[in-house]
Amino acid sequence: MVDQQKSESDPRTGVDPRTSVELFAGGGGLAMAVHQAGFRPLLFNEFNKRACETLEASARKTLGTDGIQRTEDTRPRPPAQGQPAPLYPGDVRDLDMTALRGKVDVLAGGPPCQPFSAGGVAKGDEDKRNMFPAMFKAVREIRPKAVICENVRGLLRPSFADYFQYIQNELKLPFVTRDDEVPWQEHNAVLTGILGSLSESDRDGEHYRVVKVPVNAADYGVPQIRNRVLLIAFRADLDVDVDAFEKEVTTRRFSDHALYRSMREEDGPYWQRHPEVEEPVKAMVRARLPKEVEDDCLPWRTLRDAIKGYGTNAEKPLPALPDIDLSCLDMKTQQAAEVGITDHIGWPGARIYKGHTPNELDRPAKTVKAGVHGVPGGESVVRLDTQVVDESTPAGQRYEHRYMTVRETARVMTFPDEWMGAGPRGEKMRQLGNAVPVVLGEYFANAVAEALTRAGH
């Protein structure tokens, strides 16, 4: 067994808190999620300078009272209870994490996804930016009980099918290492042969049982259409009921049709939550609702819900974000200082045109993306309820629109208002676009914790 070394007990409860390591932490979405699910962080790693500044600025409010502390030590040791977790602000491949072996419950991270172009892996060439090998090296050194790995849905494309299966095979057998000169196809053949020889009863600590979960974040209570794929791995010797875990995390919890049902009547639950919406807007939304479908889900959350403070728990709303004064956009004026909320700042220059359409308030937001200079295109524009004269349109008028603020975008990512992004607006938006929505990550982190508990760990 590899779990004999335990973390120090919490002196207040006498209970050993679960622990985590976060690689490729970015702006902290998955790190916040894992912490909120009850895991004490032992190490953070992030390469981007601004993202490291964000982690430092937000740590005490969003990642626990112990905070974080930068370190240049490439052989980090786990901090004692009550001590800050180390943040290594450099290349993860330089780290030696063997001092954490047997002390980590969850290793979490989203390896950068830029390498997966249509030509690269199909030809057998692997981009040097591919950080999955670094993730597997960390698994070998740490031997965590579980791994949470998030990445883009594009890995499910047919052109990536063989390579993505190889990624899963490597996660299942991380201790079967590959020489640098060996092509991935050859190594994959070795892994496939070993996996084929394993029986369901094999429960050694040298392999992991992996669950692949394609997700739309909206189905988990995030006010955003965001399609991703998660790989969840449990060390085989822990005897976790992986089938029960997979059934739980793939059961839909929120749905579009539940949202439509809440909108269908003029005084439906959705409109009761938003009494400020005038009848013409409600009538327009209701006119476009599709045929009703029954299910047992909760309603999808919308962009209007996020802006007005209604997250997944509508009984405990956040403060509503004030309206942005459209006459002040050129001044880039802070609009929420009176409620103590930062980064709710108007921004000029928003345009919409064919193929560049805005977010609708009464739908989940479109996917928040990370462009080179921040969130690109219509993904960061919102169409408002108010109309203005526009003779170029058939109706002679159009709905006004503007850029979303950083704070609105953070709420769409289900980040708490205490989150403080570092850098200029574009950099903050880029961090948000690269992140894991906190509500989505927390759901999976809680599910992992519950699966470990049921297995007696």
pLDDT tens, position by position, 60-91: 788 876 779 999 999 999 999 889 999 999 99
Indicate whether 134 belongs to any domain: yes
What pLDDT is stored for residue 34 in this prediction? 96
Give domain status of residue 152, yes or no. yes
- pLDDT at site 375: 55
Structural domain span for residue 145: 18-251+437-454
Q: Which pLDDT tens digit goes with each residue over 329-363? A: 988 888 887 778 899 999 999 988 887 889 999 99
Q: What is the pTM of this model?
A: 0.92
Asked, for residue 258, whether it belongs to a domain, the answer is no
Residue 146 lies in a domain: yes
Give the pLDDT score at 126: 67
pLDDT score recorded for residue 8: 47
Determine, yes or no, domain membership for 160.
yes
Q: Is residue 234 part of a domain?
A: yes
3-state secondary structure the chain: CCCCCCCCCCCCCCCCCEEEEEECCCCCHHHHHHHHCCEEEEEEECCCHHHHHHHHHHHHHHCCCCCEEECCCCCCCCCCCCCCEEEECCCHHHCCCHHHCCCCCEEEECCCCCCCCCCCHHHCCCCCCCCHHHHHHHHHHHCCCEEEEEEEHHHHCHHHHHHHHHHHHHHHCCCCCCCCCCCHHHHHHHHHHHHHHCCCCCCCCCCEEEEEEEEEHHHHCCCECCEEEEEEEEEHHHCCCHHHHHHHHCCCCEEHHHHHHHHCCCCCHHHHHCCCCCHHHHHHHHHCCCCCCCCCCEECCCHHHHHHCCCCCCCCCCCCCCCCCHHHHHHCCECCHHHCCCCCECCCCCCCECCECCECCCCCECCCCCECCECCHHHHEEEEEEEEECCCCCCCEEEEEEECCHHHHHHHCCCCCCCCCCCCHHHHHHHHHHCCCHHHHHHHHHHHHHHHHHCCC
Q: Count of domains in the chain?
A: 1
CATH code assigned at 231: 3.40.50.150
Give mean pLDDT in consecutive 10-residue pieces for the chain, a chain of 457 residues. 40 67 96 94 95 89 80 95 92 96 96 60 63 95 97 87 94 95 94 92 89 98 96 97 97 96 95 95 94 91 96 77 92 83 92 86 94 60 91 84 95 94 93 95 97 95
Instruction: Please check whether residue 55 lies inside any domain of the structure.
Output: yes
356 found inside a domain: no
